[in-house]
Structure 1
């Protein structure tokens, strides 16, 4: 029966699909703000940092700063209310906040037991599985290490898109994603770029981003797409959708619909049953 399956492989997005990244980050940001905010309300500082992180997550090319230094500068701006770009150094409080946030978010960045079990069931049933995540290599590699993605999926099937140089991109284009993507598991272009979806057509793409995961999978002519679209939180919680790229409550006007829309990645098995 396996040879008759239409779907042979499942590719998962990482952030807010396999792991509730935004929920983890919001809690870690508030924890760090409480430690470093002094007389100001931690929630106010946390909100400032969240907005800065969403707007300016990475250093601009001419800055000469690495990601930790840049994000420490974001904490300096959040704590002081300054508009400085973070290049002039940071206070001890900002350094404390960055270290507390980084440590807390990574310590909580884990696959839930039911998610781990689901992936293992798919693998036992004969499906190839992989992870395809956008982002800065240093940031995403720390997260994939924290959750043990390499152990669960195989290091060669955990791909960081948007990392590496031209030579890495050349290697990536020459190999199908499910069979590996270069020595570091990195690809110079991000979803939804067509080159990142060089996979067999009998593949299911699962992710929370309509633009990157759903539209990317559709445009690459994958077999099917699953949009993991969690329900909106009440506005007063301040926790709606993704911390980094917002939340779509509906397919954009005039754009194609995903094959399936679900509220949890745990519904993927039911989608596979429908595909056959």
Structure 2
């Protein structure tokens, strides 16, 4: 770090500004109850179906040119998960569609920008340019952005799925810098993923990277090393103050 002034902050969305994992867990719980009632299965079987769906979601590689929407792909995840658990006794396609609809609707309902984070973003926007940079399928991420009301807090919102490359590739960071009219060394990157947010910031040679690690996990072997690690994005003002002091002292 060279003491240069910070002009812009690039924020990740999921599990950085909003608790996507928590909302997803609550949505899965509601869907598990639907499965138990509809299939007449016990909690273990319903939980197994949900676990299989989550695994398929984690391994998902969506190709919009394949002719199916993301909604259709995820209904198929539920249908396959049910089929794998109950075999030939599986219900019609309509239950998979009901599971997906309940899971999706519930997850969006449980997502929110907390009052504290809203206040933080308002305060920061008075001093810095703010950009939201989120990986993921375009429709899914735009639905989250709309659900939590992100637009008012950012100078720009960039969804990786709308571009040729996502984080950690340099091209999408360069796009963000150009949108804000800043250089890489004017920016800090804040996010919960070492592989995408922090590695991407490192690749782009930003002023500093801030890793949000709510569990206080140790860095994996061979991982990129963030400049700062904090349990919550609400600790960001302390880091910004440190950077201001470093700027003043010429560190």
> What interval of TM-score do these two structures reach, taking the shorter chain for normalisation?
0.7 to 0.9
Larger radius of gyration: 2
From 60, 65, 83, the counterpart of 1:80 = 83
Matched, 1:191 2:167: yes
Cα distance in 1 between the residues matched to 2:149 and 2:9: 18
Structure with higher helix content: 2
Give the conservation status (yes or no) of the 8 Å contact 1:73–1:90.
no
Residue 235 of structure 1 is matched in structure 2 by none
The number of residue pairs the alignment matches comes to 226
Which structure has the higher relative contact order (CA within 8 Å, separation 6+)? 2
Q: How does 1:73-222 map to 2 (within 5 A)?
A: 73-81=76-84, 91-124=93-126, 126-154=127-155, 157-163=156-162, 187-198=163-174, 199=177, 200=183, 201-222=185-206
Match of 2:235 in 1: 267
Distance 1:56 1:218 in 2: 26
Q: What CA distance in whole angstroms lies between the structure 2 residues aligned with 1:102 and 1:224?
A: 35
Shift, 1:5, TM fit? 6.8
Q: Report which stretch shifted further, 115-124 or 4-13.
A: 4-13
Structure 1: unaligned runs, 5 residues or longer: 164-186, 233-248
Root-mean-square deviation (CA, aligned residues, Å) is: 2.3
For normalisation by structure 1, the TM-score amounts to 0.76
CA distance in 1, matches of 2:204, 2:4: 20
Alignment of 1:22-101 (within 5 A): 22-37=21-36, 38-40=39-41, 41=43, 42-56=46-60, 58=62, 62=66, 64-81=67-84, 91-101=93-103
Q: CA deviation at 1:219?
A: 1.5
CA displacement 1:65-115 (0-9 Å, x = unmatched): 21111101111122222699xxxx962211111110111111122101111
Distance in 1 between the 2:122 and 2:239 partners? 16
Separation of aligned partners in 2, 1:138 and 1:25: 17
